[in-house]
A = this chain, B = another copy of it.
Amino acid sequence: MHRAALHQQLAPEAWHLPGLSPSNKLICALILLASLAAILETEPTLRRLVPRLFSSLEVVFVTLFILEYLLRLYSVGEDPRYRGIGGRIRYVFSIWALIDLVAILPFFLGFLTHSNAFLLRLLRILRILRLSRLGRFSRAWSALAEALKARIHELLLSVGVAGLLLLFSSACLYVVEAADQPEAFGSVPRALWWSIATLTTVGYGDVTPITALGKVFAGMTAVAGIGIIAMPTGILAAAFSDAFQNKDNMQGE
């Protein structure tokens, strides 16, 4: 196979058709499979059931990822930025090549605890983001990103207001409930756990105020929580509405 054809197959930005090249589709599928295996391997019941399956699978996946890494290293010479030995070294230290490396390394780092190795293996999913960047969703992505950027100050402002509400509601509950429930409301950082569960309307219910005044403040916090949801939703809705209309107008011209 010619190096130019290989480069076209592997580099998403070099592919001449819309969507992903067949090789990159295969690699995406491999990454998803490897991630799924990494996720399932954490379940002790499955590990006991098929003790050798997951380590064998990992050997297969890592072998394929090493092969892919070497092919990328070879074919990237087609890109004028990474030509020659110096270019290859620059490529190895580029952000995406480092992430590609991270997808391989955990296998060789035997001294890692199980859960740390797991996190590194999960980073492989990030590689999909790179490969699919130029796929069918790039227009949708840019529309959403544009809308977010145009209203970033409004969104940050509502985040700031939410932060202040979070702080004041946990401070109120700390002052009111600390004496009765020292474990749950004995300090502001502890009350924050309750406060965040209430303002986001998650409401676990593992910690709830028991004094009358505490319940009054909690009720006000819960009502404020609706504002915390309504505010950014409203801003996003307005921002998306603008972004979609601008896009349609541009296409219409």
In the complex, are the beta carbons of A204 and B193 less than 8 A apart? no
Which single residue of chain B is at the shortest CB-CB distance from A205?
Answer: B204
A189 (CB) vs chain B CBs: closest residue = B43
Interface check A157, CB cutoff 8 A: yes
Interface residues on A, range: 35 or more
Q: Mark A86-108, 1 if CB is under 8 A from B, else 0.
A: 00000000000000000000000
Spot the interface stretch: A7-15, A67-75, A76-84, A231-239: A231-239
Q: Are A219 and B231 interface neighbours, CB within 8 A?
A: no
Residue of B44, B125, B196, B244 touching A238 (CB-CB under 8 A)? B244
Contact of A202 among B119, B222, B227, B239 (CB under 8 A): B222
B137 in contact with A156 (CB, 8 Å)? yes
Known: A153-B136, A187-B42, A237-B241. A232 touches B227 (CB 8 A): yes
Instruction: Report the nearest B residue to A234, measured CB to CB.
Output: B236
Q: Mark A221-249, 1 if CB is under 8 A from B, else 0.
A: 01101111111111111111111110010
A181 within 8 A of B: no
B236 touches A151 (CB 8 A): no
In the bound complex, what is the Cα–Cα distance between A235 and B144 (angstroms)?
9
A125–B42 CB distance below 8 A:
no
Q: Is A186 an interface residue (CB 8 A)?
A: yes
* Residues on B with beta carbons closer than 8 Å to the beta carbon of A141: 157
Cβ of A200 within 8 Å of any chain B Cβ, yes or no, is yes
A24 on the interface (CB 8 Å rule)?
A: no
With both beta carbons as reference points, the residue of chain B lying nearest to A40 in the complex is identified as B189
Q: Does A27 contact B (CB under 8 A)?
A: no
Chain B residues whose CB sits within 8 angstroms of the CB of A236 once the complex forms: 230-231, 233-235
- Determine the distance from Cα of A243 to Cα of B244 in the docked complex, in whole angstroms: 11
Contacts of A137 on B, CB cut-off 8 Å? 153, 156-157, 160
